[in-house]
A and B are shown apart, each in its own frame.
Chain A
Amino acid sequence: MSVDTRALDQAGPPGRRARLRVSTVFWRRPWLKALSLLTPPVAAFAIVYVGALAVLLISSFWGVDAFTGKLVRHWTLDNFRQIFSFSDPTYLRIAGRTIGIAAAVTITDALLAFPLGYFMARVASPRVRGALFVGVVLPLWSSYLVRIYAWQTILSGGGVLNWSLHGIGLPSAHLAYTNWAMWIVFSYIWLPFMVYPVYASLERIPESYVEASSDLGARGWRTLRSVTLPLALPGVIAGSIFTFSLTLGDYITPLLVGGTGSSFIGNVVYENIGINANVPFAAALASIPVMVMAVYLVVARRLGAFDAL
């Protein structure tokens, strides 16, 4: 295809002509347009995301001079040997706790979000649905720290929880500064991130499927098990990616509501950078969540979580 450029040259003042020439170039080569549009975001993604991860991975094989705290660029596996040591299982214990609580929080949120999402998508009137939407997001309007501190006062010895328990004649709960407190607080703060994907996936199930199921003689429970749950699963898994990874990376909740023996991987990373400037060791530790998430995402993809996004 060719364009009569003479016609363009006569088209108007020089500024306009130049602009037309540039747009002609892009019109003739569509890939050039795509390239120039995509280069900035892709480059930013590559440098900021992938580059940072690559540096993290590389530096985890370095060491630190014990005396000056300066980086030593010698390849060594010492950091990983220390983390995966069975004679001193401190770091394995911390990693296990972090992953275990993240999993517990994810399951809790899924169990809470499914009925709520189901109600919002299929039962509630538009007005109630709107109110519930606002109710679910409302906590996100206040600072994350404020919400954790609020739980600190709720769970503390003389707090609202024990006050209410005493009111109905029950003994005090000793939840403040325990792993149970962390589980409650995490489940609370990440719940909205589970409710939305679950709601979206439930809303997408056509009413006709449910009707077909009951036409074929299935009762409510059987329909839920064989039709609704499998179709909603991608949404649950998409939500679980948020709740799981957010818990996995957190370090503030353990600081504020955790007790003795509540350190997360994030806390140890923070201590190693702040205390020793031992960035390589912190990088090696930080690679555990990266690896866990990588495995998790591969499994989630197999289960079709990304089809629902």
Chain B
Amino acid sequence: MRRIRRIHLLAAAVLVAALSVPTIAISRSDGSSMLTKIGKGEGSLNLIEWPYYSDKSFATAFVKQTGCVIHRKDAGTSNEMVALMRQGGGGGGGQYDLVSASGDASLRLVYGGDIQPVNVKLIPSWNSFLPAFKSPEHNTVKGVHYGVSVQWGPNTLIYNTAKVTPAPKGWNDIYSAKYKGKLTVPNNPIQIADAALYLQQTKPGLGIKDPYELTKDQLAAVVSLLKQQKPLLKRYWNYATDEITSFKNGDVWMGAGWPYQTLQLQAAKAPVKEIVPLPTTGWADTWMLAKQAPHPNCAYLWMKYVTTPAVEAKQALVFGETPVNPKACPYMNKLQKSSCAQYHLNEPASYYSKIKFWKTPVAQCGWKSGNDCMDYNAWQRAWTQVTG
């Protein structure tokens, strides 16, 4: 072995590197054209989902009806979803069929070429969706539907009723020093939009029109607000369970979260309530069809099934969110008394205009011509600057 000199090892390393490089060159086929009719199920369905998005309480009946056996891959964050979809050359890698993407992931997937358009004519419930969720900006680009909306929820202000008195009134409580060291917000670049929405109300001089479409100066103003907020926080939470734990053991008294955390905490008898100060940001999830989906028929059958009123109602109550199909209202009330009103499914259209749903920031500004809005890369860098 002594005869193997360094130069040989180097040559071998270079050779190996040269051989490995071409394999990263990813080729993407253009995907199949849209289905015009749902055929027979392929017997299998692979989902990337938020936990409980194919809960057994409604998924078992689907498997029985269609013969599509569900294989789940639970994701903890939007970033995990995007990363999973981009594995194996992207477009779901020929492995995954559907992803339950939230608005902060959906356009990234669309522009990344990981998603194929969906024929909404094959989804009968689509016609009865709330108008806000038929062609929302976070899943419909130039009139092309990249998926079917499924559920949504507002971002809420959660607080410990024993420690926070009087009860908070609005978002300014998480930017004030009153509860310094007892606050938490999500560790997610989309949190910039929450601060932008707050500044839109409190500092009209900045001229923020849309919290997801910020110019360079507006983003800088938001970043400086977030930097002021940082010393007030106990932590940035990464997973919903992190926030639940922090509330349970008393490290955190107030924070931004979702109704899911409130429900889990209340179920554990923690003294916790939430308010939805309007306007607020919110999230809306879309079942999106992977470009390389191996089981498109099962995927369409699933999108058709989960948007039916009875299933929408079940899923809403399992996860703690609101259906996009208002016909689910009586089913919700049947499962849990007055839950339809509790989850704001009976609100007028004006209510939805006060919830700014997550959408991936892109360079193209919607409210003015030009491409000088800050894109998601810039948001990510700004968020690392704040939190890192």
Residues on A close to B: CB < 8 A?
Answer: 34, 38, 46-47, 50-52, 54-55, 58-59, 66-71, 88, 90-91, 93-94, 152-153, 156-159, 174, 176-177, 255-256, 258-261, 263, 267-268, 270-278
- Contact indicator A275/B380 (Cβ below 8 Å): yes
Residues of A within 8 Å of B250, CB to CB, are: 156-158
Stretch at the interface among B204-212, B227-235, B322-330: B227-235
- Contact indicator B387/A274 (Cβ below 8 Å): no
Contact of B111 among A69, A255, A273 (CB under 8 A): A69
Residues of B within 8 Å of A176, CB to CB, are: 234, 251
Contact of A256 among B21, B233, B242 (CB under 8 A): B242
B174 is an interface residue with CB less than 8 A from chain A: no
- Contact indicator A68/B111 (Cβ below 8 Å): yes
A-B contact count (CB 8 A): 120
B79 is an interface residue with CB less than 8 A from chain A: yes
Residues of B within 8 Å of A38, CB to CB, are: 1
- Contact indicator B16/A46 (Cβ below 8 Å): yes
- Contact indicator B111/A263 (Cβ below 8 Å): no
Residues of B within 8 Å of A50, CB to CB, are: 12-13, 16
In the assembled complex, the Cα of A173 lies from the Cα of B69 at a distance in Å of: 51
Looking at A51, A68, A88, A267, the one whose CB has the most chain B CB atoms below 10 A away is: A51
Q: Contacts A159-B249, A273-B83, A277-B112 known; A260 to B230 CB distance under 8 Å?
A: yes
- Contact indicator B384/A271 (Cβ below 8 Å): yes
B80 is an interface residue with CB less than 8 A from chain A: yes
- Contact indicator A94/B251 (Cβ below 8 Å): no
- Contact indicator B380/A276 (Cβ below 8 Å): yes
Contact of B388 among A59, A67, A94, A153 (CB under 8 A): A94
Residues of B within 8 Å of A256, CB to CB, are: 242
Q: Separation in Å of the B241 CB from the closest CB of chain A?
A: 10
- Contact indicator B388/A54 (Cβ below 8 Å): no
- Contact indicator B235/A177 (Cβ below 8 Å): yes
- Contact indicator B251/A275 (Cβ below 8 Å): no
Residues on B close to A: CB < 8 A?
Answer: 1, 12-14, 16-17, 19-21, 24, 26, 77, 79-80, 82-83, 86, 108, 111-113, 181, 189, 230-231, 233-236, 238, 242, 245-246, 249-251, 362-363, 375-377, 380-381, 384-385, 387-388
In the assembled complex, the Cα of A277 lies from the Cα of B19 at a distance in Å of: 23
5 A-B pairs closest in CB distance:
A274-B79, A54-B17, A51-B16, A263-B388, A177-B235
Q: Contacts A46-B12, A274-B83 known; A66 to B375 CB distance under 8 Å?
A: yes
Q: Separation in Å of the A202 CB from the closest CB of chain B?
A: 32
Residues of B within 8 Å of A88, CB to CB, are: 385
Residues of B within 8 Å of A277, CB to CB, are: 82-83, 86, 112
- Contact indicator B13/A46 (Cβ below 8 Å): yes
List the B residue with the shortest CB-CB distance to A278.
B377
Residues of A within 8 Å of B13, CB to CB, are: 46, 50-51, 54
Residues of B within 8 Å of A58, CB to CB, are: 17, 21
Contact of A261 among B26, B77, B230, B377 (CB under 8 A): B230
- Contact indicator A55/B230 (Cβ below 8 Å): no
- Contact indicator B388/A90 (Cβ below 8 Å): yes
Residues of A within 8 Å of B189, CB to CB, are: 275
**Dominant secondary structure of chain A at its interface with chain B:** helix
List the B residue with the shortest CB-CB distance to A255.
B238
- Contact indicator A261/B388 (Cβ below 8 Å): yes
Residues of A within 8 Å of B77, CB to CB, are: 274
- Contact indicator B79/A271 (Cβ below 8 Å): yes
In the assembled complex, the Cα of A91 lies from the Cα of B251 at a distance in Å of: 29
**Dominant secondary structure of chain B at its interface with chain A:** helix
Contact of A260 among B362, B363, B387 (CB under 8 A): B387
Q: Separation in Å of the B73 CB from the closest CB of chain A?
A: 14
- Contact indicator A68/B26 (Cβ below 8 Å): no
In the assembled complex, the Cα of A90 lies from the Cα of B245 at a distance in Å of: 29
Residues of B within 8 Å of A272, CB to CB, are: 380
Residues of B within 8 Å of A55, CB to CB, are: 17, 20-21, 24
Residues of A within 8 Å of B233, CB to CB, are: 259-260
- Contact indicator A152/B245 (Cβ below 8 Å): yes
Q: Separation in Å of the A93 CB from the closest CB of chain B?
A: 7
Q: Contacts A51-B17, A59-B24, A260-B235 known; A70 to B388 CB distance under 8 Å?
A: no
List the A residue with the shortest CB-CB distance to B109.
A69
In the assembled complex, the Cα of A88 lies from the Cα of B361 at a distance in Å of: 22
Q: Contacts A58-B21, A176-B251 known; A66 to B363 CB distance under 8 Å?
A: yes
Residues of B within 8 Å of A158, CB to CB, are: 249-250
List 6 A–B pairs whose Cβ atoms lie within 8 Å, in order of A's numbering. Answer: A50-B13, A54-B13, A156-B250, A259-B234, A260-B230, A277-B86
In the assembled complex, the Cα of A36 lies from the Cα of B250 at a distance in Å of: 62
In the assembled complex, the Cα of A50 lies from the Cα of B10 at a distance in Å of: 10
In the assembled complex, the Cα of A35 lies from the Cα of B55 at a distance in Å of: 55
List the B residue with the shortest CB-CB distance to A52.
B20
Residues of B within 8 Å of A267, CB to CB, are: 388
Q: A69-B111, A158-B250 are in contact. List 10 more A-B contacts (CB 8 A).
A: A38-B1, A54-B17, A157-B251, A177-B235, A258-B235, A261-B387, A271-B380, A274-B82, A275-B82, A276-B377
Residues of A within 8 Å of B376, CB to CB, are: 275-276
In the assembled complex, the Cα of A133 lies from the Cα of B21 at a distance in Å of: 46
Q: Separation in Å of the A45 CB from the closest CB of chain B?
A: 10
Contact of B20 among A54, A70, A153, A278 (CB under 8 A): A54
Residues of A within 8 Å of B113, CB to CB, are: 68, 70
In the assembled complex, the Cα of A88 lies from the Cα of B388 at a distance in Å of: 12
Residues of B within 8 Å of A68, CB to CB, are: 111-113
Q: Separation in Å of the A63 CB from the closest CB of chain B?
A: 11
- Contact indicator B80/A67 (Cβ below 8 Å): no
Q: Separation in Å of the B270 CB from the closest CB of chain A?
A: 12
- Contact indicator A275/B235 (Cβ below 8 Å): no
Q: Separation in Å of the B108 CB from the closest CB of chain A?
A: 7
